Amino acid sequence: MKKNLGGLDRFIRITLALVAGLLVYFEMVGDTLSIILLAVAAVFVITSLVGFCPLYGLVGLNSCSVKHD
């Protein structure tokens, strides 16, 4: 798996996951929406930690900066 997430993209995903977690924790969203938010947050955290997004791979996006020697 080649990394395709850059630092800013990873930061944004982690931040959105934290916001979603706080919305669920403080019960600011309904039951169904909370399950959806937690699932999306989990995907964001996992992809951020791994540095690879399968959806980005499918559509050919790459936000990872490439170092040229």
Q: What is the pLDDT of residues 9-46, one digit of tens each?
A: 999 999 999 999 999 999 999 999 999 999 999 999 99
Give the pLDDT confidence score for residue 67 in this predicted structure.
63
What's the CA gap between 38 and 24, in Å, rounded?
8
Question: Cβ contacts of residue 19 below 8 Å, gap of 6+?
Answer: none
